[in-house]
Structure 1
């Protein structure tokens, strides 16, 4: 019988007499025993099944007087005054090992379970008293001293684990020993608890913690008396903090309220506190959180300082499934320095707006809206305490924002995009704002291509393609203090206009190896104003004297033709010197030549240019000058010079083919030079400076490191030119370098950048195919046991006490030691001319080098220790850039962080030990110094 599981369903009708109830119970009991067809169960058989002393008698459970009441569990003792309990539904119970019926009681052993309505009880042992509607449950202790089969009680309020429990099905009350339940992000543990019929619990000496070491938590809040309403809140009387079994009596509270709702809800956000020597005592990030609904939330917080500084913040997250999601943050800070009437007194106001929005791809396949807004005053990051220890924010001088909407029109080649753009520089407070940037494009179409093509050869006119791009912009370039949206500013300071571009091209095959590409480009600009200039005799300079409003258009066009091909060169290294590892080296050159023609649009018939003639006293001559009436416009103006240019471009790649080590018959390609490009152009119709500057750029990879480089060469010489009777200026002259200085060209600028990462994984030895393999004889040999060592007992007895993880065994039987680390190094160098130093003999400027080296790294001493560092060095200024060091330690349910800026304007430190759970985020210790306290603060 012990090997079978019995599931007996007992149904009771609504009867009020005890005799009828007992009669029904006897009938069902007899039917169950008859159906089982088993022999009588003796006490000896039960003793063989259940561990000794694991199940005490039902009446042996001693309950504490603090929670024991006379009527807590008794369903009713006087049958003449009170009707017997009636069941409203069926009771289901069963066990894996055995079920014993004994005078109105059912004893269930081994994975026992009882369920009634929405109540379910599971344990190793359950005693069910049908007559009194009581149930008793507990687990047992195995031979290793571990508790097994502990009772698990589940109802509509949640799930609870306990050591022992006595439950009344009628009153829904219970007495519980050592209950454990999850409430929100934390756990509630109590040695004794009383359950009420409203599913609330009264606790004595309960513990609330977020540490999952429930038997021995690293910390907990000891609640002398408490009431737990599952899924809602925890209310406690006097409580104090216990850390590592040490009572922290100064952290004593007379009462507490802990929300434990499973769903997010509104509530007060407690502020953090601290002190700065400059701004005094403070309360930060205190306010209110509003759980507005399932689509968005909102938090309103504030900061206040003793010296009068203050700040306000609002943050919101929103999300609609399969539609969109985003976050919005707005902050304003008023910083007060020193005291009024003192020389160093100042008051600054800063604000910041960040907004991110993303549309789900499933929402609309033909249109999308996205936003990435990051705007703030230039001094916000410096004054915001949150960015002091963040080197990435401090090094961010440029901020950009964009709001984009795109629309695709199915079945047509047209696409529409609308953008709002912003960029600012926090050093010089310059700002560029574009509201809006409207673009309509038509993808390339082939108007003459036959839809019902006959034959395989394509006609030349079928390669003619045409596309369109229309753009409208309204932008301003100014400084923060001058930014304005008034009508006067929009008219005078903002630039706006529209541009239409229609390129037409075709592709032709020429002599089998060349591709010929004729093209025609038409551009038209629309403006709402133009300018007129005149000569200011008093200031001796050209000034704008008038702005003419009204719709105006300016068009231009150009012709061009280009061709390109590829040239392959192969080189086989000398086998005697290089062996047969290198199979072949291939050099691929991609030369291209283009010819373009642009007319001169200064002819008066176009009306794009005006003529200005004046007498310059400084040069003592009459100056004749043509200027464009669209000078300074957003899309420029048509060309003032006739141009017939030839463009040259040469691309190079170099790679070699090596024999593969893994495949004796295969090869692999290795790039020696991924790209090396040269480009320039020559204007055949120019009177001077016909040859443009020569541009060079390239990239390669050495030992896994990406290296990019570039340079600009000027083919024309420099010389001192007399610009006035008393002044000379160094200018380009219309003389080539090879004729003036015996140089092919003069280096103007150059740049080089590379970066590489290396770490513990970089230096790991590659395992060979037979490494670590042993012969069958060796693998079957077992090492001799050392009677003095017992690693299993050591792990079970010592490691849990020390809260450390067992050591992982390495390949050679020793403890596996790993310390992951990584270092990243980046180098950026630029060579620019020093215009203040001109060498008259070499006729060139001296060069000025500027270079930055940045270094960052991290190391994990153990799985719970982490160290991060970032720094840099500027070779031109010979100073160390912003340096940051951070150390963190995972303390299981706590976390320790130390951040330090050791020197510089942002010299500061920040130390904190805090609980990981957001529920108790204010239970922490912080110590910080602020960069404002430094003498060299900005």
Structure 2
């Protein structure tokens, strides 16, 4: 009986065929060899008879009709099986159809074809897999109008390539890409032909490299004949030509290197050349950037001038998420003016240290550390040749604070803080520092309060607390800063205070509060005064050693609130006016502590004596030598109106504030033998024009007359032939800020004010005194505007609407303390910006001093946003801070060295 042989045939299944082919095409990481898989239950196998012999030792089958014992033997495979290459689920879809052609050995996905495998995504109009030639093709398709649509988009991880078509050989793992488009950081790259060598290396031909967002029609690009591209690492190019608006420029580079990484990288910072009238030619802001870690960095910048002047700057930023962030700047300049041997020769050394540190609220619930440091030479911002910032140079004060605070969650709660402070007057060059300041306090304790916590009445509201303050204060000059003499003049002391207070109501509507305060001061620095006959003058000696004094005082006040409404009718424009008054009467008592006072002779006779206390010039004041008992009167008022709102759909009136506050205050000294009535102080403020205009005013009215020498006398002014009060001083300030958005019906607040470098230097945060020019990075905008990405892009010219903003600040001061009746200050400041056309901005800052009859500091700003480029011109036409600077360059930090900058810095006078 002849043997029966069978042939096992595998029918081509779309699902399994696609998986096998896709494996070799899109596995860019790992092994790309193809291995068989176990068939699932749903797969079918068809058996057919055949005369073809089976390979030996594969499968033997014997029938029972041959009376031969059935046996099936299978030899073990000696070849080690390799691990399957599929590492994830493969997904695919197409809108129109998926087709497999067995004759051409091709699979086609048509219209909105998509493939997904691990981190690989391929989207295209058509995807064709040629598994006979080990190739895959993806390209565009035509729409009903004959236009090509659905360009391929190949994504692997964070790398995205958008070509017109792509051809890939999964056996050699190489690919050819036509008109590929990819983005690496800020760089957009489009190449005519791209060759994929392996997973990490690409070669490009006739490529365009640009930072423009419009990669199809960029306003500029670098045309490169050959490119080696390693994603997320580097771009190395050959001959490079800069093309602007499709016009080649003479700028040509034989080669270029662009580091591409998501992390910060170290590198050189190119300096800016220029010329100064006093220092000669210079190179400014050149140096090196150190990317030390993901949490902090360091930039070292330097300046050099041909006359020998130089400057150094160290800038560092640091941050840790949910913990803290901050930055530090150290600047030093050694400036030389003139030539040795000439009268105008001068040398100047200036420095400035800035440190800001803030702690995240989530970092710690009970402790906090913060720092805001701005110290250095008093004349730094006025004499620095690398700072053009009038707002900082006009500032007369530099201040710093570094503090640590901790709260102990005890009962009662205890608060503790340790701080170091610094205050510096840049005009007098006097510095006051506390190194350190210690403060501790115990939370309020209510000894008579019930356990249920309800406190009503005089006794239940009695409370007290304990406060401790210790200081080590240093007063020195700028020239002695951090020198030994600075620490020898330090003064130390402690202040203990225990305030005791309570509050209650009387007659239902009157609130009464009383307080008594005990104060004890410990000091380690006292003085002694005596007359020296040998020197014929009064000698004041410092005495070292522990000493203390104790004082106390008492205060009480009573107040209430009175409401009044004047109705005019609902048919009126102003329906009602509401007036709120808060009158108050206070009493203060302080005894005389003359036990802490001594006498000394003021001349050689010894008959003329004067009093002094050894605690003079103490850290926490001196004990009073005069008995004080005074009554104070105060009245605060607010006025608001209810106005019919024509824009309201519900016919509801709106509230308009007429006067935010109108305050009157005076006092009467019961212990004084003359001039007991204090001047009447009136102050107020309001906001007008939808709270765009702030108006504040104040005046002082004196009821007493003055004699011919200007001294107050015990005669009322009305009895001396004058009015009831004599106005001794008055001042008013008006600030008005508005823009074109305020005139629109549906205007919305879109601008946010951020702290500028001028404000960090101690100046104003607005641009009334001009906008500071950061000479180390001119890519930053001169205008305080939103980020360009948040603005609406409009390339068309404006017809009638021009975006603009304007700020006005008016200040006037009147002085009549000695019948001079003069305006001591009267000035108007203005600043504004206008967008003449899309991406064309013009701004100014100026003012007029009516007292001096002259124009104040003036600055003009011009800026052109060239999309990927930025052009600006900053001009101060006259004055000691005359300056101009022109800049044009690429905005992106990747190509920040491609720029042209020219400026004329102000001529400084060094001393």
Change in Cα spacing, 1:743 to 1:218, as seen in structure 2 (3 Å) is same
2:269 and 2:147 map into 1 onto residues whose CA distance is 42
2:806 and 2:436 map into 1 onto residues whose CA distance is 43
2:533 and 2:820 map into 1 onto residues whose CA distance is 35
2:597 and 2:160 map into 1 onto residues whose CA distance is 85
Change in Cα spacing, 1:479 to 1:738, as seen in structure 2 (3 Å) is farther
Check the 8 A contact 2:456/2:504 in 1, yes or no. no
Change in Cα spacing, 1:833 to 1:633, as seen in structure 2 (3 Å) is farther
Shift of 1:555: 0.6
1:926 and 1:514 map into 2 onto residues whose CA distance is 69
**SS state of the match for residue 894, structure 2?**
helix
Check the 8 A contact 2:475/2:486 in 1, yes or no. no
Change in Cα spacing, 1:128 to 1:629, as seen in structure 2 (3 Å) is same
Query: Residue 186 of structure 2 corresponds to which residue in structure 1?
Result: 185
Q: 1:677 and 2:663 equivalent? A: yes
Shift of 1:526: 0.9
Shift of 1:663: 7.5
Shift of 1:926: 1.6
Within the candidate set 716, 719, 731, 2:711 is matched to 731
Alignment of 1:154-169 (within 5 A): 154-155=155-156, 158-169=159-170
Alignment of 1:268-283 (within 5 A): 268-283=268-283
Within the candidate set 641, 648, 655, 2:633 is matched to 648
Check the 8 A contact 1:913/1:925 in 2, yes or no. yes
1:426 and 1:658 map into 2 onto residues whose CA distance is 50
Query: Residue 417 of structure 2 corresponds to which residue in structure 1?
Result: 417
Q: 1:853 and 2:828 equivalent? A: yes
**SS state of the match for residue 809, structure 2?**
strand
Alignment of 1:75-86 (within 5 A): none
Alignment of 1:137-536 (within 5 A): 137-142=138-143, 146-155=147-156, 158-249=159-250, 251-388=251-388, 390-411=389-410, 412-452=412-452, 458-486=456-484, 488-492=485-489, 494-536=490-532
1:374 and 1:32 map into 2 onto residues whose CA distance is 81
Q: 1:928 and 2:903 equivalent? A: yes
2:664 and 2:115 map into 1 onto residues whose CA distance is 84
Check the 8 A contact 1:106/1:127 in 2, yes or no. yes
Change in Cα spacing, 1:180 to 1:669, as seen in structure 2 (3 Å) is closer
Count residues in correspondence: 802
Check the 8 A contact 1:807/1:816 in 2, yes or no. no
Within the candidate set 803, 807, 810, 1:820 is matched to 803
Query: Residue 639 of structure 1 corresponds to which residue in structure 2?
Result: 624
Shift of 1:367: 1.2
Check the 8 A contact 2:21/2:131 in 1, yes or no. no
Change in Cα spacing, 1:447 to 1:119, as seen in structure 2 (3 Å) is closer
Check the 8 A contact 2:480/2:486 in 1, yes or no. no
Shift of 1:460: 3.0
2:34 and 2:660 map into 1 onto residues whose CA distance is 93
Alignment of 1:746-761 (within 5 A): 746-761=726-741
2:118 and 2:850 map into 1 onto residues whose CA distance is 78
Change in Cα spacing, 1:532 to 1:924, as seen in structure 2 (3 Å) is same
Shift of 1:539: 7.4
Check the 8 A contact 1:567/1:590 in 2, yes or no. yes
Check the 8 A contact 1:89/1:116 in 2, yes or no. no
1:258 and 1:432 map into 2 onto residues whose CA distance is 50
Question: TM-score w.r.t. structure 1 length?
Answer: 0.79
Shift of 1:614: 3.3
Check the 8 A contact 1:596/1:644 in 2, yes or no. yes
**SS state of the match for residue 136, structure 2?**
strand
RCO greater where, 1 or 2, for CA within 8 Å and sep 6 or more?
2
**SS state of the match for residue 527, structure 1?**
strand
Check the 8 A contact 2:355/2:373 in 1, yes or no. yes
Q: 1:9 and 2:18 equivalent? A: yes
Unaligned runs of 5+ in 1: 16-20, 35-84, 721-728, 768-802, 809-814, 839-843
Change in Cα spacing, 1:384 to 1:470, as seen in structure 2 (3 Å) is same
Shift of 1:892: 1.3
- Deviation per residue, 1:384-430 (Å, 9 max, x gap): 35531x44334333222222222222243322222222222333323
Check the 8 A contact 1:94/1:112 in 2, yes or no. yes
2:910 and 2:402 map into 1 onto residues whose CA distance is 36
Shift of 1:533: 0.9
- Deviation per residue, 1:298-339 (Å, 9 max, x gap): 222222222222111111111111111111111111122222
2:418 and 2:109 map into 1 onto residues whose CA distance is 72
1:890 and 1:435 map into 2 onto residues whose CA distance is 49
1:757 and 1:452 map into 2 onto residues whose CA distance is 52
Change in Cα spacing, 1:198 to 1:663, as seen in structure 2 (3 Å) is closer
1:569 and 1:149 map into 2 onto residues whose CA distance is 72
Change in Cα spacing, 1:448 to 1:147, as seen in structure 2 (3 Å) is same
Change in Cα spacing, 1:13 to 1:122, as seen in structure 2 (3 Å) is closer
Check the 8 A contact 1:464/1:506 in 2, yes or no. yes
Unaligned runs of 5+ in 2: 1-13, 25-32, 47-81, 748-791
Question: TM-score w.r.t. structure 2 length?
Answer: 0.81
Check the 8 A contact 2:795/2:838 in 1, yes or no. no
**SS state of the match for residue 382, structure 1?**
helix
Check the 8 A contact 1:8/1:32 in 2, yes or no. no
- Deviation per residue, 1:241-267 (Å, 9 max, x gap): 111122222x22222111112222222
Shift of 1:110: 2.2
Change in Cα spacing, 1:542 to 1:716, as seen in structure 2 (3 Å) is farther
- Deviation per residue, 1:582-617 (Å, 9 max, x gap): 4444443322222222111113xxxx2111233489
1:202 and 1:631 map into 2 onto residues whose CA distance is 82
Check the 8 A contact 1:391/1:884 in 2, yes or no. no
Change in Cα spacing, 1:586 to 1:164, as seen in structure 2 (3 Å) is closer
**SS state of the match for residue 363, structure 1?**
coil
Query: Residue 763 of structure 2 corresponds to which residue in structure 1?
Result: none
Check the 8 A contact 1:12/1:86 in 2, yes or no. no
1:845 and 1:384 map into 2 onto residues whose CA distance is 40
- Deviation per residue, 1:715-747 (Å, 9 max, x gap): 443335xxxxxxxx6533444434445443432
- Deviation per residue, 1:529-585 (Å, 9 max, x gap): 2101123558765441x2221111111111232222334455556x8xx97444444
Check the 8 A contact 2:34/2:85 in 1, yes or no. no
Shift of 1:186: 0.3
Check the 8 A contact 1:905/1:937 in 2, yes or no. no
1:654 and 1:541 map into 2 onto residues whose CA distance is 60
Q: 1:902 and 2:880 equivalent? A: no
Shift of 1:447: 1.1
Shift of 1:10: 4.0
Query: Residue 865 of structure 2 corresponds to which residue in structure 1?
Result: 890
Check the 8 A contact 2:794/2:838 in 1, yes or no. no
Query: Residue 708 of structure 1 corresponds to which residue in structure 2?
Result: 696
- Deviation per residue, 1:56-109 (Å, 9 max, x gap): xxxxxxxxxxxxxxxxxxxxxxxxxxxxx9994488766433324133233332
Cα root mean square deviation, aligned: 3.6
Change in Cα spacing, 1:804 to 1:845, as seen in structure 2 (3 Å) is closer
2:83 and 2:181 map into 1 onto residues whose CA distance is 30
**SS state of the match for residue 131, structure 1?**
coil
Change in Cα spacing, 1:93 to 1:643, as seen in structure 2 (3 Å) is closer
1:863 and 1:135 map into 2 onto residues whose CA distance is 46
- Deviation per residue, 1:817-837 (Å, 9 max, x gap): 421112111111222357xxx
**SS state of the match for residue 534, structure 1?**
strand
Shift of 1:22: 13
Check the 8 A contact 2:449/2:455 in 1, yes or no. no
**SS state of the match for residue 176, structure 1?**
strand
**SS state of the match for residue 818, structure 1?**
coil
Shift of 1:909: 1.4
